[in-house]
Amino acid sequence: MSSATSQSESGGVNVFVPRIKFKVPDRIVWLIAAVCAMPVLLNIIGIDFGYIGDKLDPYKITQLYQFEQETALQEILRGRYVHTIFVSISITISFLTILLAFIDFRIKGELSTPIVGVALFCSGLFDTFHVLAATQIIHTQTQQFYLTSFTWFFCRLFHASILILGTGIFLARPGAFTEAGQKNRKRTFLFITVLFVGLTLFTIAMLYLGNDIPKMLYPYRNLARSYDLLPLILYALLGLYILPRFQERFPSLFAQTLSLSMIPAVATQLYMVFGSNELFDNNFNISHFMAAVTYIIPFIGISMNYLQTHRSEQEVIRKLHSEVAVRQGAEEKLSGILNSSPSAIMAFTVNKNKEGKTIDYSWTIANPAMKKLFGLDASELPGAKLSDKLPEMIEEGWMEILEPVIRSGESISHEYFSQAFKKWFHLVAVPLKNGLALTVSDISRRKNTQQELLTAERLAITGKLARVIAHEVRNPLTNIHLAVAQLKTELPPDSDVNLYPDIVERNAGRIDLLISELLNSSRPEQIQSLSCDLNVLVLETRELVRDRMQLKNITLDLQQHQGALLIHADPARIRTALLNIMLNGIEAMEEGKGILKIKTFIESEEAIVKISDNGTGIKAEDLPQLFDPFFSNKSKGMGLGLTTTQNIIQSHNGSIHVESEFGNGTTFVIRFPLTF
């Protein structure tokens, strides 16, 4: 037995049900053949199934006791009882068959099994008419004796004909039934059911109301029931040609057992044609037993077909449960990844206008990292539009960045600095059906590290150059100092020429100072690492600039982290670095209007101090050169203060970042690793 899964519809919902190819074991075929041959063997050993009794003389009946009368009557009616039992079995099985056929249609949505079930049901209706006529429950205008033989013949003829019709319509146009939609299949099934039942009732009515019924039984001929050869031919046609092709096109256990039921159907006609001479004789009752077997075999097939379908569905359900468990595990892992990822992970559907142009994106998924990067609650984002929640991103060109993903269906990777959030973002967009998945990572630290490496390289080059200059310049500068000192001793004290040696000596001293500061700014700081509280260092530096702030009437806004911010540092060097930044801020602010903001806090296991001013700010084109040696916008500045500050902070494994907008002030963010 092999199986494959096919899709059908039930109640408007797609359901996966198995389509199974069956092969009935050969022993079942031999068992059916044995059942058909068993009556002959029983007859040989002396068992007779005929119950034919003579009519009782009314005078003799009066001479018998009551119990003798009942026994005599029962002996006469025994044949009718056996006949009624067998036909009742056939009727009951045909009615049960159509119930299972309806269930099969409900599950699979295929028409082949229920239509054949309706055909068997209609045949059962004809058997009902036959047993009512044989037991004289209904009376017709014709002789009741002839009606019983005639209805038997017509039962078998109708049984064969309705099966030919029920299976033949599928062989004539198989595609019309397999390709029809669910709604059309229901209409087709209802139409064929009404047609078959109407045809059956019409035929029964014509037989019931008919006045001229031919004689079907000729006891003294070699073939007493020659008319029954016609159903025999039709059963042979069904068993040898029609049903095997029906089974090939619509494979099921029901279709195969329907083919096997032709064995007892043929046996039924053989017993009747070649054996029965009177009503209720041996072969007459055997034929009705075989007819019951003809109904039982396909009923067993459709029952087993239903059970097999149920088992297959149970297997499908078991597999689905297994898949659900696997998916739940995968979803839990994915949820864990999403919830623990430091990057913002989100999925969008695309909103387009009538022209097909992308006008916005709507969230479908967002992880908790949205809170850290953008200050948004991830639980509130599904269904929201990007333009409503992050209009800054629209202004920064996300629509243009993401459009190629939708248009070409290819992934992109993009880095840029967000002015709105003052962070470097790395965007990775992957196309999805009707949208895209976007991962946004904060790469500010990596970018700052890269910048620090570049600065360190520049400092190394500057230091090397400074040492060369110091070596090459200080030697002749020393000679100049010595020469000027000697010259001053030789000149008269009151000579007017003494002015010039003083000028040379003073400028030589300034050159020497410049060289010393250049060497100090480019030389790696030698620090004495101690455990310090960054809050305390900020307060100590504030005292150093208090007088300068009071002189310019500058307001101080100090917000410090509650608790100690312990770092390993050289206190004197850190105070120098903080002092340079505070002094720059004070000098950049207008007198009487300046506000110096200092804030300390913890973020990502780092101690952070943020120093902001509302001064003139720094031009965007000057920001990349801010920490370069000798870069300064001050008329009297040497451009080495921030270079020295950066050198100090980096020597403490820290980082410094500047954010500024020309005309709106400047903010320095300094980070140090915490100690625990």
pLDDT of 463 reads 66
pLDDT digits (tens, 9 = 90+) for 186-211: 888 888 889 999 999 998 888 877 66
Q: Nearest CA to 610 among 532, 538, 504, 546?
A: 538
pLDDT of 608 reads 93
Q: Nearest CA to 341 among 382, 376, 373?
A: 373
pLDDT of 74 reads 54
pLDDT of 511 reads 76
Where is average pLDDT lowest: 17-21, 91-95, 304-308?
17-21
Q: What are phi and psi of 492, to 5 degrees?
A: -60, 145
Percentage of the chain lying above the pLDDT 70 cut: 80
Question: What secondary structure, in 3-state letters, does 7-68 show?
Answer: EEEECCEEEEEEEEECCCCHHHHHHHHHHHHHHHHHHHCCCCCCCCCCCCCHHHHHHCCHHH
pLDDT of 491 reads 75
Going from the C-alpha of 165 to that of each of 162, 168, 270, the distances in angstroms are 5, 5, 23
Where is average pLDDT lowest: 276-280, 455-459, 554-558?
455-459
Q: Map tokens 């992880």 to a residue.
A: 367
The overall average pLDDT reported for the chain is: 80
Strand partners, 10: 13
pLDDT of 3 reads 41
**CB contact at 8 A, 164 and 335:** no
pLDDT digits (tens, 9 = 90+) for 417-429: 888 887 889 999 9
Give the whole-angstrom CA distance, residue 666 versus residue 582.
11
- For β-strands 566-569 and 530-533, DSSP reports them as antiparallel
**CB contact at 8 A, 560 and 538:** yes
Give the whole-angstrom CA distance, residue 427 versus residue 1.
54
**CB contact at 8 A, 369 and 342:** yes
Query: 521: number of CA atoms within 13 Å, CB side?
Result: 28
pLDDT of 142 reads 52
pLDDT of 419 reads 80
pLDDT digits (tens, 9 = 90+) for 645-676: 888 888 888 888 888 888 889 999 999 998 86
Where is average pLDDT lowest: 327-331, 526-530, 591-595?
526-530
pLDDT digits (tens, 9 = 90+) for 523-574: 555 667 789 999 999 999 999 888 889 889 999 999 999 989 999 888 888 9
pLDDT of 556 reads 92
Asked if the model's pLDDT at residue 183 lies above 70, the reply is no
pLDDT of 294 reads 93
Give the whole-angstrom CA distance, residue 129 versus residue 206.
12
Going from the C-alpha of 614 to that of each of 626, 636, 637, 658, 659, the distances in angstroms are 18, 22, 21, 14, 12
Asked if the model's pLDDT at residue 510 lies above 90, the reply is no
Percentage of the chain lying above the pLDDT 90 cut: 23
Asked if the model's pLDDT at residue 635 lies above 60, the reply is no
Question: What secondary structure, in 3-state letters, does 292-348 show?
Answer: HHHHHHHHHHHHHHHHHHHHHHHHHHHHHHHHHHHHHHHHHHHHHHHHHCCCEEEEE
